Amino acid sequence: MKKFSELEYRRPDLDAVKSKFKLLLEQFDNAKNFTTQEDALKEINALRAEFSTAASIASVRNTIDTSNQYYELEQDFFDQTSPIFQDLNIQFYRSLSKSPFQKDLRDKFGNQLFDIAEANVRSFDASVIADIQEENKLSTEYSKLVASAEIEFDGKKLNLAGLDPYLQSTDRTVRKNAADTNYAWWSKNAKAFDELYDKLVKIRARIAKKLGYNNFVELGYDRMNRTDYNAEDVKKFRQQVVDFVVPLSVELRARQAKRLGLDELYYYDMNLNFTSGNPTPKGDPDWILENGKKMYNELSPETKEFFEFMTTYELLDLVNKKNKQAGGYCTHFSKYKAPFIFSNFNGTSHDIDVLTHEAGHAFQCFQSRNHEMEEYLWPTYEACEIHSMSMEFFAWPWMESFFKEDTGKYKFQHLAGAILFLPYGCAVDEFQHIIYENPDYTPEQRNAVWAEMEKKYRPWINFGDNEYLKTGGMWKRQGHIYRSPFYYIDYCLAQICALQFWSRSQKDFKAAWADYLTLCKAGGSKPFIELVALAGLNNPFQETTVKPVITEVKAWLDSIDDTKY
């Protein structure tokens, strides 16, 4: 393939795509034997890869520079056409489910393809295309609004990611000013964010009703292809977090206050872990990338091949810049069997977390690139996050390359951060369940729900005199809530699995890595619980899983004298 900067983009001719897809479906439906049907299937997969690759290239170039009008229009095009293409996919799934050669297909591809097909057929109909187009448009508007932030601070014009280093300042006044400046921007734009979310909730509720669901919660689970667990399982998992993780989190915040010499932690203190400053990478982005190459060269032959591919073909855009969309992600270009990593380096330890986290996603995609079915290139999201979060821990032996004298500090912060994240992730998840069960809530009622979630899952937070935070406004900064409903508990489920890999890698790195590699190669060929078993991990929904994991992490954290940092 060519380098990313040289990849040709051409807007798909939708009419031509529709005609070809329908012709191939006829060939698939009318096949007289499995061989002929399989030939048609290969062509259908190639056509799907062509369309999804064009969509991905347009999306990446749009997020790299949200002010680029050409790719803004192309993103608008895919917001409008992706539901139409999805309708073609649903027709394919229907044909798949009634194939006379279904036994042969199941023997070759397994049952997961058919389970995914059934969930997709339930969760889509041509009658909701206009609604999904509007949903897509509103999701894109959220991203554009966040990316448009231009904040005056420290004599500079910064975007939201540019404020992050100040939020970690050892000067408490700077931290507070940065936090208040940050939340002042969110407060100033709160009405616009509330209006966007209100429209999204009501559109999603309307879609769910049209498709025959009781509410969007059920539809949301089907959209996520959660074929082997349900909302009740997730509720039980969240309760384990309340029982075993929240108490440890309270302890960790008390230790943090003690390290910082504070009687009480306020909202603007949360991001600083040590009076000597948080661990930071000891070089610029080019230096980080060079050390990343060295790390992946040494980790395994598979990671060496992968990272050389990524750097050779310019499949990483890592540095924060004006008009770049916030956050980080990994996507892929199916036609070229190539992942792509997007992030916003800003000089904090998060730069290294991104290099390992998003690389975990990309590595999995690279390992499963030869699966014939598009559905198997990625697993469902909660399994995807095992790859990313586990890679963060498998990279621990190389952290000294990035952090030098701050390595011990980084590992303590990283592991403690994994624990402190879990309650927040569960708060985001339960918040969404409540909102979509009550789609007519007002913005004030939604904020009140979030405030209750904070008390339940993060009782240590003191919002002081910040009215925006005290009244429950913080949730608006979590893009997943707008763009990818119910995609958040996935991080929590995966974190419990990743912590198991952390534990195993401390005892037998080689054996733990072998199981991780097996998991990556499986891609999306199995549902979540089966993938967990394939990797030799304990199922996080089982009531006997979370407590032992948290107990082991607590023992490690308790063995560290964090006051020396």
Tell me, yes or no, whether 278 and 397 share the same domain. Answer: yes
How far is Cα 222 from Cα 122, in angstroms, rounded to an integer? 8
Tell me, yes or no, whether 230 and 110 share the same domain. Answer: no
Q: State which of 88, 116, 144 marks the end of a domain.
A: 116
Angle between helix 407-437 and 190-210 (nearest 10): 60
Query: Does residue 294 form part of some domain?
Result: no
- Tell me what the mean pLDDT of segment 518-539 comes to: 98
pLDDT in tens, 457-492: 999 999 999 999 999 999 999 999 999 999 999 999
- Tell me what the mean pLDDT of segment 308-322 comes to: 94
Q: State which of 116, 147, 171 marks the end of a domain.
A: 116
- Tell me what the mean pLDDT of segment 536-560 comes to: 97
Report pLDDT for 114: 96
Q: How confident is residue 511, by pLDDT bands cut at 50, 70 and 90?
A: very high
Q: State which of 116, 143, 165 marks the end of a domain.
A: 116
> Does residue 321 have a pLDDT over 90?
no
Q: For residue 74, what are the domain limits?
A: 4-116
Report pLDDT for 439: 97
Tell me, yes or no, whether 563 and 427 share the same domain. Answer: yes
> Does residue 322 have a pLDDT over 90?
no
Tell me, yes or no, whether 101 and 238 share the same domain. Answer: no
> Does residue 323 have a pLDDT over 90?
no
Tell me, yes or no, whether 390 and 515 share the same domain. Answer: yes
Query: Does residue 136 form part of some domain?
Result: no
312's CB contacts (< 8 A; 6+ apart) are: 3
Report pLDDT for 354: 87
Query: Does residue 296 form part of some domain?
Result: no
- Tell me what the mean pLDDT of segment 327-345 comes to: 95
Q: Which two tokens stand for residue 534?
A: 């394939």
Report pLDDT for 117: 96
Report pLDDT for 258: 96
How far is Cα 266 from Cα 253, in angstroms, rounded to an integer? 11
DSSP string, 520-546: HHHTTSS-HHHHHHHTT---TTSTTTH
Report pLDDT for 12: 97
pLDDT in tens, 23-54: 999 999 999 999 999 999 999 999 999 999 99
Query: Does residue 173 form part of some domain?
Result: no
Q: Over pLDDT 70: what percentage of the chain?
A: 100
Q: How confident is residue 75, by pLDDT bands cut at 50, 70 and 90?
A: very high
Total of domains in the chain: 2
261's CB contacts (< 8 A; 6+ apart) are: 275
Query: Does residue 159 form part of some domain?
Result: no
Query: Does residue 388 form part of some domain?
Result: yes
Q: What mean pLDDT is reported for the chain?
A: 96
Q: What are phi and psi of 330, to 5 degrees?
A: -125, 130
pLDDT in tens, 87-117: 999 999 999 999 999 999 999 999 999 999 9
Beta bridge partners of 333: 338
Tell me, yes or no, whether 274 and 399 share the same domain. Answer: yes
Q: What are phi and psi of 319, to 5 degrees?
A: -95, 140
> Does residue 326 have a pLDDT over 90?
no
Query: Does residue 255 form part of some domain?
Result: yes
- Tell me what the mean pLDDT of segment 1-23 comes to: 96
Q: Which two tokens stand for residue 446?
A: 């939604």
- Tell me what the mean pLDDT of segment 392-419 comes to: 97
What predicted TM-score, i.e. pTM, was given to this entire model? 0.93
Q: What's the CATH number where 453 sits?
A: 1.10.1370.30
> Does residue 233 have a pLDDT over 90?
yes
Q: How confident is residue 515, by pLDDT bands cut at 50, 70 and 90?
A: very high
pLDDT in tens, 260-302: 999 999 999 999 999 999 999 999 999 999 999 999 999 999 9
33's CB contacts (< 8 A; 6+ apart) are: 101
Tell me, yes or no, whether 108 and 242 share the same domain. Answer: no
- Tell me what the mean pLDDT of segment 380-399 comes to: 97
> Does residue 55 have a pLDDT over 90?
yes
Closest C-alpha among 18, 16, 14, 4 to residue 58:
4
Tell me, yes or no, whether 98 and 232 share the same domain. Answer: no
Query: Does residue 549 form part of some domain?
Result: yes
